Amino acid sequence: MKKIIKIIAVAFLLCSFQCFAESSVENDSKITSFQYVKKLNSVFDFVQQNYVDEIDPKILYEGALKGMLDAIGDPYTLYLDSDYMRDLNDTTSGSFGGVGLSISKAAESTPSKPAYVEVASPIEDTPGARAGIQAGDLISAIDGLPTPSMTMNEVLAHLRGEIGTPVTVTILRGSSMKFDVTLIRALIEVPTVKYGMIEGTKIGYARLIQFTPDTAQRLQDALDSFEKKGYEGLIIDLRDNPGGLITSAVDVADKFIDNGPIVSTKSRLLFENTQFSANKDKTTVRQGLPIVVLINKGAASASEIVSGALKDYHLAYLVGERTYGKGSVQQVIPLSNTDGIKITMARYYTPSDMNIDKIGIPPDEEIKNLADFNEDEEKLYVDMIKSEIISKAAEAKPNMTEADIAAEAVKVAKEYPIDQRIIRRLIRIQVQKTQPAVLYDLDYDLQLKAAINAVQNKEFANMLKNTKTLRQLQEEAEDSQPTDGKGLTASSSIKK
């Protein structure tokens, strides 16, 4: 009897496998979406009923969705489990617990290119920013656990936790700088705009930290304040601004642009094709005002919408470094009350009809705050961080003046001979850990100094007139470099 049952069971399994393989005899290109879904359902049922141990169907469901979306290879398209959805709701509501880093992570990890966590930007006045973590830094481990094998959900679970508890991240910076940073989790409040006049000038300075529903109004508050003080130039700082709402970016850009498209979204779905245009009644910045926009590799998404639009209309001069290059639009689709998916639905295009996804926007004047270290300088920098000489100096004299900071930097430089400007910056960060972030740091910030010089340049109008739109830059690149056969340069093209 047992033998008969065994034979029947084997026959059933053979039949099941035959059903799975049935359509694979045909050319895969002829298999319909419905047939693929049918296969998935068959495998789901088969595994649940026949695997050696009983399996919770939720595990199979979540694994299937994660695998399906990861297979696309888009870091912004992913499955959102209950923890991720809760974190997302906390973030969009304006506050959440964590370390204050805007991050991204590739879905696929290989030995030659590990999927480390990349810091898109630190959020101002948070543990990550106060610890000196920078845009472009890579996190190779969290509390000793390597990040390449983690999913984004696991990364967030490790970084976020009870307020007041520590988490240690291993930072990779440059080609070989590697060091640990311990962060104390805090309540993260999403800020919007900080502003003030540059001391000793008639230049208004507004730092846009993130694009929220309040950003445009907060910027208008800044502009009104500058107007009362008789400002003659304006600097908009978008560095390390990871983006936010596309509608907020449009409202900000509309204050400068009085006519024409600001940004358009394009998709294979007609209802996702939208053009956002300027409204003259919303334009509040007077024409002819010298305007500089500060950008760097931490400026992404909505920041690139604003900087790209102002560049294409020759309304602002861009100073700093190439932006991050996120030219796609995502939507969160709830699947239930507890989970959902985030999926890229469209790409956005600047007024000159260019998409900068994975490429970024180049500045009109490239300035780096940190010069590339040579191998010896990288080793000195890492040794200095590990020695804790900076933090010990700040702890020994917590209320340092600028003169104290400069004197301490001289002492540190005798043991670690690197640029004292960088040492002063590190000491200043430690001293200000328990204080609100300063509006600007002219001692360290070479990019801001260059922006001030540009605004004050008597030839500013000609400088601005001679800048090129993103389309012009692309066309020049196509004319001067070999192409890949599709009309785009092989390595640095801007998508049309």
Question: Catalytic residues, which ones?
Answer: 301, 312, 326
3-state secondary structure 262-312: EEEEECCCHHHCEEEECCHHHCCCCCCCCEEEEECCCCCCHHHHHHHHHHH
CA distances from 80 to 59, 97, 125, 153, 332 (A): 14, 18, 28, 8, 9
Locate tokens 């399996």: which residue? 55
Q: CA 261, 207, 160, 140: dihedral to nearest 10 degrees?
A: 90
CA distances from 166 to 16, 27, 88, 159, 398 (A): 51, 55, 22, 9, 22
Closest C-alpha among 157, 155, 115, 164 to residue 138 = 115
Residues in the chain: 496
- Dihedral of alpha carbons 29, 32, 36, 38, sign: negative
Tokens read off for 356: 């900068």
Closest C-alpha among 438, 450, 425, 446 to residue 203 = 450
Tokens read off for 242: 């990871």
Tokens read off for 339: 């989970």
CA distances from 78 to 115, 327, 467, 475 (A): 15, 17, 38, 34
